[in-house]
């Protein structure tokens, strides 16, 4: 990636030297920053394609020492004309995996339950995220720390199975603002 950054920075410097007016130089500088920013986003938000499905940034939260479970999250966009369903998931960190749904009961208590599937509507998207649907990695065999990656898979009723890579993010990261999963560390 550094290579590309250098190339872009080099090209921008060259372009800047050719344009005289401040407006032109500013325009190029802004464009360059926008481009670098976009590339940086790309690096952090890894993506996978499976048929009409776009699988965006599978990630998992770093777990405290001794934790037995970890939660996995991912955003799925369905560009197709037919609904699909996430029916299974796996990860190399766990011996067993379920799909869970978090919800708040009438007394305001967070509960979670296993679900058979998560529907991804035609032309729509679903985000598995803290406080909502998540992949529950159970019986952790190989806990990971922030910055690590592990491989896993997602299986869809129509589109089939795809191998993905989960990136492990910090316990207190930006994603955790809506965390309501503290009870089991996921
Ligand atoms: Cu759960």
CA 146 to ligand 1 center in whole angstroms = 20
pLDDT band at 83 (very low <50, low <70, confident <90, very high): very high
Near ion ligand 1, which residues have CB within 5 Å? 100, 112, 136
CA 67 to ligand 1 center in whole angstroms = 13
CA 126 to ligand 1 center in whole angstroms = 17
DSSP tally for the chain: helices H, then strands E: 2, 11
Give the containing element (helix H, strand E) for 3.
Answer: helix 2-18
Query: What's the number of CA atoms in the CB half-sphere (13 Å) around residue 161?
Result: 6
CA 50 to ligand 1 center in whole angstroms = 25
Reported pTM? 0.70
pLDDT band at 35 (very low <50, low <70, confident <90, very high): low
Q: Which of 14-28, 70-84, 172-186 has the highest mean pLDDT?
A: 70-84
């Amino acid at each position: 990636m550094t290579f590309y950054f250098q190339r872009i920075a080099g090209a921008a410097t060259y372009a800047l030297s050719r344009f005289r007016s401040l407006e032109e130089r500013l325009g190029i500088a802004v464009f360059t920053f926008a481009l670098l920013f976009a590339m940086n986003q790309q690096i952090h938000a890894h993506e996978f394609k499976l048929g009409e499905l776009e699988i965006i940034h599978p990630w998992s939260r770093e777990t405290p020492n001794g934790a037995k479970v970890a939660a996995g999250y991912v955003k799925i966009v369905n560009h197709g004309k037919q609904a699909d369903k996430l029916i299974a998931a796996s990860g190399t960190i766990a011996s067993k995996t379920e799909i869970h749904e978090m919800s708040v009961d009438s007394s305001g208590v967070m509960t979670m339950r296993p679900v058979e599937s998560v529907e991804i509507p035609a032309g729509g998207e679903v985000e598995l995220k803290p406080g909502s649907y998540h992949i529950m990695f159970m019986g952790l065999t190989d806990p990971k720390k922030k910055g690590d990656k592990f491989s896993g898979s997602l299986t869809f009723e129509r589109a089939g199975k795809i191998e993905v890579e989960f990136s492990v993010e910090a316990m207190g990261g930006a994603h955790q603002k809506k965390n309501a999963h503290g009870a089991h560390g996921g």
